[in-house]
Amino acid sequence: MKIYPLTARPLTFAALALGSALLSFSVPGEAKELKLGIITPPQHVWTKAAHEFAERVESESDGDLSVALFPAGQLGDEPAMFAQMQSGLLDMGIMTAAITSQREPSVNGWFTPFLFDNVEDAIQATQTPAAEQMLDNLSDKGLHAFGYTFAGMRHILMRDQAVTSIDDLDHQKIRIIPISAMQTWWRATGAVPTPIQLPDVYQGLQNKMIDGVGIDLDALVGSGFDEVAQHLTLTNHMAFPAIAMVSSTTWDTLSENEREVVNHAMHEALNWANQAQVDAEADNLDYLEQHIDVRHLDDAKAQFAKANTAFDDKFSVLPLISQFQQQVADQHAEK
């Protein structure tokens, strides 16, 4: 396994310099190299899943396949990584469902507010036919998807005051990922949704460019946001999956045996990561409760009713999204 060294920031220059690494070709007799890009930093569970995948591929293929990892957004942001997969420069990625939803709108179903109580519920929802269909729909975008993995549920971290009711969000600048689902929901809360990249959030909180952030506990702790914002309200308002995928061009060049190895290694890595995320959720909460102001917003779904309706009006009208919501509700009813 090769791991490309980290740069402080995902600069375009760094991505260009790495271009030569991306342009390597496999030589007869040498291991065929698969290049995998991921936005998350080394300590994040998704990056650890990528390592797990790489180790398994190399051992299960007896060294015929190797994996070069480009973590921490070294190849640029996710739209850039998608373009690289499309042009054949990059083979694989573990991509946020957020940016994937810009290619396949049904993936927005995962951002249905208050659909899941916890990460375990979201993991169970990957078994629904609708969740599988979302993955299949990526094939006509030149992508072969293996499955899902999860960051923690999203909550609200504020710098100056806790959110004890929806009114506390009025006119507050809240960092979001710039996708329509988050923009729609956050705007309807009365907040000012402010799109900035994850690596800029720490400084944004510090210099008051933003007042708060919708975030999962892993990213909060991993990026040290608790150093600059100390009021966490647990809302569980959205899940936050990623999708592991390979470009169809690369997939088509693999032999049947290589595909089996890659497929098996990725499913094992995703299963490992999902269990690790469930454990991390409890550990992160433990840590935060000892360090900052943590509270629950018990009637969160009701408090956010207007925002939930705004999401429904725009997204739940998509047949695959409403099927997904129904299938998840059926899973809950069976419990």
Binding of residue 39 to ligand BEZ (CB under 6 A): yes
- Where on the phi/psi map is residue 68: left (φ > 0), alpha (ψ -120 to 50), or beta? beta
CA distance 36 to 250: 12
- x-marked contacts with ligand BEZ along 234-273 as a string, rule CB under 6 A: ----------------------------------------
- For the chain, the residue count is 335
Pairing of strands 65-70, 173-176: unpaired
Q: How far is CA 283 from the centre of its chain?
A: 19
CB of 191 or CB of 254, closer to ligand BEZ = 191
Residues 203-232 that bind ligand BEZ (CB under 6 A): 215-216, 219
Binding of residue 277 to ligand BEZ (CB under 6 A): no
Least distance to ligand BEZ, CB of residue 31, Å: 29
Binding of residue 198 to ligand BEZ (CB under 6 A): yes
Binding of residue 40 to ligand BEZ (CB under 6 A): yes
Helices (H), the chain: 12-22, 45-60, 78-87, 97-100, 119-125, 129-136, 180-188, 201-206, 217-222, 248-253, 256-291, 300-303, 305-311, 319-334
- x-marked contacts with ligand BEZ along 51-90 as a string, rule CB under 6 A: ----------------------------------------
CA distance 175 to 90: 29
CB of 98 or CB of 262, closer to ligand BEZ = 98
Least distance to ligand BEZ, CB of residue 1, Å: 22
CB of 91 or CB of 216, closer to ligand BEZ = 216
Least distance to ligand BEZ, CB of residue 151, Å: 4
- Binding-site size for ligand BEZ (CB under 6 A) equals 9
40: helix, coil or strand?
A: coil
Least distance to ligand BEZ, CB of residue 290, Å: 22
Least distance to ligand BEZ, CB of residue 202, Å: 12
CA distance 175 to 193: 6
Q: 43 to each of 40, 48, 178, 185, 276, how far by Cα in Å?
A: 8, 7, 24, 29, 12
Do 66 and 1 touch, CB atoms closer than 8 A?
yes
- x-marked contacts with ligand BEZ along 149-188 as a string, rule CB under 6 A: --x-------------------------x-----------
- Measured over the CA atoms of residue 146, residue 147, residue 151 and residue 155, the dihedral's sign is positive
Binding of residue 194 to ligand BEZ (CB under 6 A): no
**Binding residues for ligand BEZ (CB under 6 A):** 39-40, 96, 151, 177, 198, 215-216, 219
